């Protein structure tokens, strides 16, 4: 078998034992890698119904089919466990050298079971596994942890994933960091923290052999060349922050906790402005010829020295959504999140929820009391100092507010509403508990559906349903019978990329066209040259449907019902007053209709459950046994 070793590594932190599981080729053809394989490993290894922060919830890491080969943007891995935010599948993806180290160490995936009674790090040295004491690393930020581990093992080439203080403190919006990249969403960092796993280091020294290196090199070279052309220009030049002004113009840029979709200081947050004033370096993920990551460096003022990644999703969350015009403060907040191991998106949206609570009188100044500010502080929109302070308070669960916000918006609003008889859930911006992304869906009706039915909650990466809305292929302000099919088609499209995994920014570099007809045959060629398989268009297409299905199956087994496919209260009841999205909502009737036609398009029941025959037709017979109807 080329492209895979056929082996999954299991490590039990309760017993300290490790063992090897062999998987047949058919299993790999079904689940491939990335989020699909990671979710499947989670399906196989979790204690059904367990508390996400208990020993029964495994950390499941799945490599990339193309990791360690020259296939551009293939250096990614998937990580899944039951999310402490949503209680459903938490599948994260990260572009990172860890994926390459994993491939070269000879493992297709890693499952970490159990939990340790003291802090540990795992060291995977090719086929040898050791578990070491990590108590001396506790409290360290993510880059310092990586450095310390490399120093400890005496090798700069070690690939390290780690959690920061946020993960250690079981903050539900904590992430896992590796080489400055993150498995960012759904609170994976807290799952690591609950296992007392501070870090995982991998040294993989083995070469990666592929079925047909000559063909793979030629295909890769052509993609690499295309990736220097117009198809990736916006990513290469300004990075994702080039979206800021577009989103603002369309009335989609989350502002003041999604009260509005246009921000008066959007210009200051634009890729153009940040590039000129803060950009210090452009960085690539593993084996990526695009290099979208723009590193911002604050040179002067109170936040001098802060180095943070300038990316759209971090910017809307900690910038416009918190009302921030001071980009030095935003970069400092991003830098804090990166080092403390906090998801910038959930972090920003949770902070903006607290700001709105403060402005509406739910919270007083004293509620924000902490060691640095014993009297608390004014938590108004636009207060950069407050945003920066809150990132630290959340990560350390410091004070009343730190402890409260560490739970994310859903739990925090529930607690506050219970304690104070308020209705703060009305502006808690989450879906299934995961905070919403940087595109306001009140005027993106296809995307609203894609988000509502998303298996991991409010996430723009797992559904590309904003695409037909924003491109004007459909009327984004209204609903029609095509949207069910579109939501299915765009989520499965995204899932193909997330499963291989390949970064979606390469999608136009195969033939110039990003659609299935443009990309799937080229991707099939890459798969075949790597593995020696005989994949065609339909086989590639099926990767996405299977990926989405295993995640949905996981959720069903954990108790998902139709009501869990919801939207934030605000998107259904509060209208914006400014910009092109003003006056629009997704009504209850619309949402019900959209869900009906989506489940129908998926071939599911009207309750959103999956028929046995459907699962069997996807080659998932054992899943059909458990949850098929």
- The binding site for another protein (CB under 8 A) comprises 68-70, 72, 97, 100, 104, 143, 157, 179-180, 205-210, 213, 217, 221, 224, 227-228, 280-291, 295, 297, 307
Q: How far is the CB of 99 from another protein (least distance, A)?
A: 12
- List the end-to-end C-alpha distance of the chain, in Å, as a whole number: 35
Q: State which H helix or E strand residue 95 sits in.
A: strand 89-95
Cβ 148 to another protein shortest distance, Å: 16
Report the Cα 492 to chain-centroid distance in Å.
16
Whichever of 292 and 452 has its CB closer to another protein, that residue is: 292
| Closest CB 361 distance from another protein, rounded Å | 41
Which residues have CB under 8 Å from 275's CB, separation 6+? 237, 238, 241, 294
Q: In what order do the strands lie in the sheet with 279-283?
A: 279-283, 293-297, 307-310
CA dihedral of residues 103, 63, 5, 523 (deg, nearest 10): -100
CB 307 → another protein: shortest distance, Å? 5
Q: Which residue, 16 or 532, has its beta carbon nearer to another protein?
A: 532
Task: Give me the least distance between CB of 70 and another protein, in Å please.
Answer: 5
Quickly tell me which residue has 């390459």 as its tokens. Answer: 100
Smallest gap from Cβ 23 to another protein, in A, equals 22
CB 333 within 8 A of CB 318: yes
Considering the complex, state which of residue 56 and residue 213 has its C-beta at the smaller distance from another protein: 213
Comparing CB distances to another protein, the nearer of 103 and 442 is 103
Q: Using CA atoms, how far apart are residues 141 and 135, in angstroms rounded to an integer?
A: 14
Which residue, 501 or 608, is less far from another protein as judged by CB?
501
Beta bridge partners of 80: 60, 91
DSSP annotation of 196 reads T
For another protein, which is the closer residue by CB, 501 or 568? 501
Q: How far is the C-alpha of 344 from the C-alpha of 371, rounded, in Å? A: 23
Instruction: CB nearer to another protein: give 227 or 449.
Output: 227
Q: By C-beta, is 290 or 370 nearer to another protein? A: 290
The C-alpha atoms of residue 629 and residue 615 are separated, in whole angstroms, by 10
Question: Taking the complex as a whole, how short is the minimal distance between the CB of residue 140 and another protein, in angstroms?
Answer: 16
Q: Residue 603 and residue 458: Cα distance in Å, rounded?
A: 23
- How far is 457 from 185, CA to CA, in rounded Å? 10
Tokens 């009305």 correspond to 426
| C-alpha distances out from residue 176 to 267, 325, 563, 628, Å | 31, 28, 30, 33
Residue 154 CB, shortest distance to another protein, in Å, is 15
């Amino acid at each position: 078998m080329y492209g895979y070793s056929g082996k999954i590594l299991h490590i039990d932190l309760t017993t300290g034992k490790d063992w090897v599981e062999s998987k047949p080729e058919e299993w790999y053809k079904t689940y491939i890698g990335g989020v699909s394989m990671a979710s499947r490993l989670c399906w196989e290894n979790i204690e059904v119904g367990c508390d996400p922060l208990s020993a029964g919830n495994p950390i499941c890491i799945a490599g990339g089919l193309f990791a360690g080969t020259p296939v551009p943007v293939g250096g990614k891995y998937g990580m899944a466990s039951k999310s402490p935010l949503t209680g459903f599948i938490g599948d994260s993806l990260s572009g990172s050298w860890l994926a390459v180290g994993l491939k070269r160490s000879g493992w297709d995936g890693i499952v970490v079971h159990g939990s340790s009674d003291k802090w540990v790090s795992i060291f995977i040295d090719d086929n040898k596994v050791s578990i070491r004491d990590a108590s001396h690393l506790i409290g360290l930020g993510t880059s310092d942890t990586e450095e310390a581990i490399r120093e400890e093992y005496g090798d700069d080439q070690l690939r390290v994933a780690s959690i920061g203080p946020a993960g250690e403190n079981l903050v539900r919006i904590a992430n896992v960091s590796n080489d400055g990249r993150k498995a960012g969403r759904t609170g994976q960092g807290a799952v690591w923290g609950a296992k007392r796993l501070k870090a995982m280091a991998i040294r993989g020294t083995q070469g990666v052999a592929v079925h047909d290196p000559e063909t793979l090199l030629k295909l890769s070279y052509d993609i690499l060349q295309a990736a220097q052309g117009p198809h990736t220009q916006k990513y290469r030049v300004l990075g994702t922050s080039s979206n800021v002004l577009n989103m603002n113009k369309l009335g989609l840029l989350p502002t003041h906790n999604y009260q509005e979709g246009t921000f008066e200081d959007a210009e200051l947050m634009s890729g153009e402005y940040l590039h000129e004033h803060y950009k210090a370096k452009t960085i690539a993920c593993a084996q990526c010829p695009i290099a979208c990551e723009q590193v911002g460096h604050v040179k002067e003022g109170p936040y001098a020295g802060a180095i943070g990644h300038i990316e759209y999703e971090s910017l809307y969350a900690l910038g416009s959504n918190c009302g921030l015009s001071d980009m030095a403060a935003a970069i400092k907040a991003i830098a804090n999140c990166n080092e403390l191991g906090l998801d910038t998106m959930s972090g920003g949206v949770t902070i903006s929820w607290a700001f709105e609570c403060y402005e509406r009188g739910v919270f007083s100044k004293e509620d924000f009391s902490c060691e640095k500010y014993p009297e608390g502080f004014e938590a108004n929109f636009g207060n950069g100092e407050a945003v920066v302070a809150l990132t630290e308070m959340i990560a350390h669960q410091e004070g009343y507010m730190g402890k409260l916000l560490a739970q994310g918006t859903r739990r925090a609003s529930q607690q506050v509403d219970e304690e104070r008889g308020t209705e703060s859930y009305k502006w808690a911006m989450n879906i299934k508990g995961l905070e919403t992304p940087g595109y306001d869906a009140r005027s993106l009706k296809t995307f609203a559906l894609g988000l509502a039915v998303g298996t991991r909650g409010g996430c723009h990466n797992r559904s590309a349903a904003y695409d037909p809305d924003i491109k004007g292929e459909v009327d984004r302000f209204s609903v029609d019978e095509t949207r069910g099919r579109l939501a299915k088609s765009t989520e499965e499209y995204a899932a193909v990329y997330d499963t291989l995994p390949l970064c979606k920014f390469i999608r136009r570099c195969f033939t110039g066209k990003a659609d299935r007809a443009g990309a799937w045959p080229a991707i099939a060629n890459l798969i075949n040259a790597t593995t020696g398989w005989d994949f065609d268009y339909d086989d590639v297409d099926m990767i996405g449907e299977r990926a989405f299905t295993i995640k949905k199956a996981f959720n069903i087994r954990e108790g998902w019902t139709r009501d869990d496919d919801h939207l934030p209260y605000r998107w259904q009841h509060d209208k914006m007053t400014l910009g092109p999205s003003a006056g629009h909502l997704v009504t209850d009737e619309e949402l019900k209709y959209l869900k009906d036609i989506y489940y129908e398009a998926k071939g599911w029941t009207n309750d959103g459950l999956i028929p046995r025959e459907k699962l069997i037709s996807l080659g998932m017979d054992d899943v059909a046994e458990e949850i098929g109807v």
